[in-house]
Every structure is written in structure tokens, then in C-alpha cells.
């Protein structure tokens, strides 16, 4: 494949943008398509016309990474301002700090434990009769005992995944989900921040290259005849094949948007742990930009449910039963020529933004080295299975 040849990219999210830019800088003509009327995919941000608040249209996005190259990459297109994700939860009539930490434990049990005392206390709470946990519930009971499990894990998990924690695998909860200090920073990563003017502004700058053409509001049928030397597809894997083997399972989200004059909840994210509250959390978007000041406020109540045919797929479920179906799609994809499946939908995995960028950079680099050697590009650089 020679420079100057046209490359097609389906999807103007982070995957499509990063690949488009790398290829354009290497001399390829790149054409990008997105069904939506905006770039940015699910990271899309937009200022609310009434309040001026920067809204994360498809749900809250916090950038965090240990990958120094990815951190430098995003900072090349946008100033990232300091932001620490600190989440609260309302449970059983009180507000607590998450992830469950020493403050949460002391408040919940009415104690003044120091770290080692709290550790010993939680060990006493743990259900030691469970020796080989098979389910999420058994794993949580074994780690933290029934009281903490019911207050902080059970109801939220039921709402988020639409099933009982007794039907979810133990592997979801790999480590003890509790901290024995007062660290309430949600993420452990070295770099964390928020783009000063939003993710869409950053992605617009990534696309800003004379060899990149972006067409919005255009659903691209990847299997219809086209004249691209290679296609990068970041749409749904099952959709590419017309759902031939059935639909892969996803959860979708409904956002109930409301405005408020003033400060509605005093933080960006408030979870609701009780099963009796139908939503999982409320997001107050202005707190994602603490360097800005707005009188008005925009909030989202977030509801999770099974994804139907006309819904936006958000979280891949990846149930054990889906493995065979996914394997069928992967086998079909591997038979395709001159197309590479990229990003969260085409590889049917949950990917944080930093991982999405890392994978897109690696994919573009592999493509550039393969095209130099005139070698074929694989269908997957990052396999779904
Ligand atoms: C609720 C939620 C919260 C998240 N929060 C965080 C967070 O806090 N931090 C973090 O790091 N990550 C977060 N993420 C992950 C982040 O959204 C992804 O990493 C990122 O969106 C992946 O980018 P992508 O380009 O692969 O996919 P997408 O953003 O989904 O982009 C794919 C694009 O392809 C388009 N498309 C699909 N099919 C076609 C077609 N046939 N023709 C034309 N266009 C098509 C779609 O319209 C879409 O715009 C979150 C994800 C969700 C769902």
C-alpha cells in the first residue's frame, strides 16, 4: 500500500481520530465517516446553551492513565487541568465516601478505627464459611461481610447489570474492594485530569489535518463496494455482519437531564446504592470543570437497562454464554480482507480512553510498517477473545 492511497475510517470517536491523524501525518489521504452529527463518539462534550456548563453528553468521562506517551499525546492537543475523581454514595439514608475507605468504614460502623484495627475488624466481618467463591456475591461476602456488601455493592450491582450478583462471576471482584486509609481518589493512575475545553475540542484538533476529511451524519455500510485501499472499522462487530449470529449483549443507559439553579449535590458524581432508588447515580456536570464558575447547573440521572435494537450500546456484558457467539464473529472477521476492527465496539470490550488511544497508536504504527513491507494487515491487532 502506497502513501497517497485513500484510507476509509468508520467512526469519528477517539479510535478513528487517532488512527486518522497518524496515517495522515505519514502521507495517506484519510476519509472518516460517522452516523452521528458530531465527532467524538461516546466522549462527546458540548456546552449547554443556557448555563454554559460543559456537558459529557454520553455520561461522565474522567481521563486517567499510567501511560506517559498517551498522557503526552493528549496534552499535545489540549490543556489538561487537574481533576481528581471523588465519588460519594447515598445508601440506607446516609452519604458515604467511595471507594469504601477508612472514612466509610468508621462512619458506617460508628467507630474511630485506625488502619490496622479496621483491617482486623473487616476480617472478622468476612464470611469465612465461603472457601471457594464462585459468584460476585460470594466473593464480596468473603471479602467484606454482609453489612458492607448490602450497603455498597449489592443494590448498585443489581441496577448496573440488571441481574442478581449471584449470577455474576466472582472474577469481577478480583481484589479486596476496600482501602484502609483515607484515600478517596477513585483512580490509582499517575496522571489524571480533564480537558480544559472538553473532549470534542481535543478530538477536533486531532482531526485538524489537510489530509483528513470528516463526513458526519453518514452511516457507512462497510460491506458495500468502496474504493478505499484499507478500512478501519470502529462500529459494532455484530453490526458489521448484519447480526448474522445474533446480537452481542450490551447494557444501555438512559439519562434523565434536569437543570438546577445553584449547586445541586456539591460533587460531580453521587451514586445511589439502594435497590429501591431506580437510578444508579446522578452526575452534576459543572463539577467536572472546577476551574469554571456557573450559576446554573446541568444534572443527569442515570438509569441502566438491557440494550435493545435501537439503543446505544454502552457496556459489553460478555457473559460466558456469549463466548461462542463472539468466537463466530471473530472467525468471520478474520476472513475479511483489507479491514481492521478497532476500538470498543468492534472488539466488544470495555476500553478506557487511555487504552483506546494506546491501541489506536499501536494499530496505526503496525499499519504503517506493514504497508512499507507491502504485507497484509490483520483483522484484529487487539483480539476480542
Ligand atoms: C458511560 C461511559 C462512561 C465512560 N467513562 C469513562 C471514563 O471516565 N474514563 C475513560 O477513560 N473512559 C471512559 N469510557 C470509555 C470511553 O467512552 C471509550 O474509551 C471511547 O469512547 C472509545 O472510543 P471509540 O472510538 O473506540 O468508540 P466510540 O466512542 O463508540 O466511537 C465509535 C463511533 O463510530 C460510529 N459508528 C459506528 N458504526 C458506524 C457506521 N456504520 N457508520 C458510521 N459511523 C459509525 C459511532 O456513531 C461512534 O461515534 C466510558 C464509557 C462509557 C460507556
From the CA of 91, how far away is ligand 1's center (Å)? 30
Catalytic member of 281, 344, 348, 354: 281
Q: What is the mean pLDDT of residues 93-103?
A: 97
Q: What is the residue with the minimal CA distance to atom 21 of ligand 1?
A: 42
Catalytic member of 208, 295, 305, 350: 350
Q: What is the mean pLDDT of residues 197-209?
A: 98
Confidence of residue 171 (pLDDT cuts 50, 70, 90): confident
**pLDDT exceeds 70 at position 4:** no
From the CA of 42, how far away is ligand 1's center (Å)? 4
d(CA 379, CA 336): 7
Task: Select from 37, 44, 61 the residue to mutate for testing ligand 1; criterion: most ligand atoms less than 8 Å from CB.
Answer: 61
**pLDDT exceeds 70 at position 2:** no
DSSP 8-state class, residue 163: S
Q: What is the residue with the minimal CA distance to atom 52 of ligand 1?
A: 314
Confidence of residue 317 (pLDDT cuts 50, 70, 90): confident
User: Which of 348, 344, 338, 342 has its CA nearest to residue 362?
Assistant: 342
Cβ–Cβ under 8 Å, residues 150 and 144: no
Q: What is the mean pLDDT of residues 271-295?
A: 97
Tell me whether residue 332 is one of the annotated catalytic residues.
Answer: no
From the CA of 129, how far away is ligand 1's center (Å)? 42
pLDDT value at residue 244: 96
pLDDT value at residue 151: 97
Q: What is the residue with the minimal CA distance to atom 1 of ligand 1?
A: 59
Q: Tell which atom from ligand 1 comes closest to the C-alpha of 33.
A: 43
**pLDDT exceeds 90 at position 286:** yes
pLDDT value at residue 33: 98
pLDDT digits (tens, 9 = 90+) for 124-170: 999 999 999 999 999 999 999 999 999 999 999 999 999 999 988 89
* Cell digits of residue 247: 446480537
pLDDT value at residue 176: 82
Q: What is the residue with the minimal CA distance to atom 10 of ligand 1?
A: 352
List strand residue ranges (DSSP E) for 122-276, in order.
Answer: 191-195, 212-216, 230-233, 250-261, 269-272
* Cell digits of residue 258: 434536569
Compute and round to an integer the Cα radius of gyration of the chain. 22
**pLDDT exceeds 70 at position 3:** no
Tell me whether residue 179 is one of the annotated catalytic residues.
Answer: yes
Cα torsion 28, 29, 35, 39: sign: positive
pLDDT digits (tens, 9 = 90+) for 339-365: 999 999 999 999 999 999 999 999 999
The long-range contacts involving 217-220, CB below 8 angstroms and separated by at least 24 positions, are 217/34, 217/35, 217/36, 217/37, 218/33, 218/34, 218/35, 219/33, 219/35, 220/8, 220/10, 220/33, 220/35
Buried residues in 319-339 as b, exposed as e (16+ CB within 10 A): eeebeebbeebbebbeebeeb
From the CA of 48, how far away is ligand 1's center (Å)? 21
Catalytic member of 21, 36, 142, 179: 179
Q: What is the residue with the minimal CA distance to atom 19 of ligand 1?
A: 353
From the CA of 43, how far away is ligand 1's center (Å)? 6
pLDDT value at residue 46: 98
Tell me whether residue 281 is one of the annotated catalytic residues.
Answer: yes
Residue 251 has phi, psi (to 5 degrees) of -100, 145
Q: Tell which atom from ligand 1 comes closest to the C-alpha of 36.
A: 47
Cβ–Cβ under 8 Å, residues 59 and 284: no
Instruction: Look up cell 483491617; give the residue.
Output: 119
pLDDT value at residue 1: 61
Q: What is the mean pLDDT of residues 61-72?
A: 98
Residues within 6 Å of ligand 1 by CB: 10-16, 33-36, 41-43, 59-63, 219-220, 234-235, 253, 314, 343-345, 351-354, 356
Q: What is the mean pLDDT of residues 64-91?
A: 98
Tell me whether residue 251 is one of the annotated catalytic residues.
Answer: yes
Tell me whether residue 358 is one of the annotated catalytic residues.
Answer: no
Tell me whether residue 247 is one of the annotated catalytic residues.
Answer: no
From the CA of 309, how far away is ligand 1's center (Å)? 17
pLDDT value at residue 319: 76
Tell me whether residue 352 is one of the annotated catalytic residues.
Answer: yes
Q: What is the residue with the minimal CA distance to atom 35 of ligand 1?
A: 11
Residue 213 has phi, psi (to 5 degrees) of -120, 125
DSSP 8-state class, residue 337: S
pTM above 0.95, yes or no: yes
Instruction: Look up cell 470517536; give the residue.
Output: 13
Q: Tell which atom from ligand 1 comes closest to the C-alpha of 302.
A: 1
Amino acid at each position: 500500500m502506497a502513501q497517497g492511497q485513500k484510507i476509509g475510517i468508520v467512526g469519528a470517536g477517539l479510535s478513528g481520530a487517532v488512527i486518522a491523524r497518524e496515517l495522515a501525518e505519514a502521507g495517506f489521504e484519510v476519509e472518516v465517516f460517522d452516523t452521528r452529527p458530531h465527532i467524538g463518539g461516546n466522549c462527546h462534550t458540548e456546552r449547554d446553551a443556557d448555563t454554559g456548563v460543559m456537558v459529557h453528553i454520553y455520561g461522565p468521562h474522567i481521563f486517567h492513565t499510567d501511560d506517559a506517551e498517551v498522557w503526552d499525546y493528549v496534552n499535545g492537543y489540549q490543556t489538561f487541568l487537574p481533576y481528581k475523581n471523588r465519588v460519594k454514595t447515598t445508601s440506607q439514608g446516609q452519604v458515604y465516601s467511595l471507594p469504601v475507605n477508612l472514612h466509610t468504614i468508621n462512619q458506617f460502623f460508628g467507630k474511630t478505627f485506625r488502619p490496622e484495627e479496621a483491617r482486623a475488624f473487616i476480617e472478622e466481618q468476612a464470611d469465612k464459611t465461603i472457601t471457594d467463591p464462585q459468584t460476585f456475591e460470594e466473593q464480596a461476602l468473603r471479602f467484606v461481610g454482609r453489612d458492607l456488601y448490602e450497603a455498597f455493592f449489592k443494590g448498585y450491582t443489581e441496577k448496573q447489570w440488571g441481574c442478581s450478583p449471584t449470577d455474576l462471576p466472582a472474577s469481577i471482584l478480583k481484589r479486596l474492594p476496600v482501602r484502609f486509609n483515607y484515600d478517596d481518589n477513585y483512580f490509582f493512575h499517575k496522571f489524571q485530569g480533564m480537558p480544559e475545553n472538553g473532549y470534542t475540542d481535543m478530538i477536533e484538533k486531532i482531526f485538524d489535518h489537510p489530509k483528513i476529511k470528516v463526513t458526519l451524519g453518514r452511516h457507512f455500510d462497510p460491506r458495500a463496494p468502496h474504493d478505499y485501499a484499507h478500512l478501519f472499522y470502529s462500529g459494532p462487530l455484530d453490526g458489521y455482519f448484519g447480526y448474522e449470529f445474533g446480537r452481542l449483549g450490551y447494557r444501555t443507559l438512559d439519562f434523565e437531564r434536569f437543570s438546577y439553579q445553584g449547586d445541586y449535590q456539591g460533587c460531580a458524581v453521587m451514586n445511589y446504592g439502594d435497590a429501591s432508588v431506580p437510578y444508579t447515580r446522578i452526575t452534576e456536570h459543572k463539577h467536572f470543570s472546577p476551574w469554571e464558575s456557573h450559576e446554573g447547573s446541568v444534572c443527569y440521572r442515570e438509569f441502566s437497562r438491557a440494550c435493545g435494537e435501537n439503543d446505544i450500546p454502552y457496556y459489553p456484558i460478555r457473559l460466558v454464554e456469549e463466548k461462542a457467539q463472539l468466537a463466530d464473529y471473530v472467525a468471520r472477521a478474520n476472513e475479511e480482507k483489507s479491514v481492521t476492527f478497532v476500538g470498543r465496539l468492534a472488539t466488544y470490550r470495555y476500553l478506557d480512553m487511555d487504552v483506546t488511544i494506546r491501541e489506536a497508536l499501536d494499530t496505526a504504527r503496525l499499519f504503517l510498517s506493514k504497508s512499507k513491507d507491502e504485507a497484509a494487515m490483520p483483522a484484529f491487532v487487539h483480539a476480542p477473545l
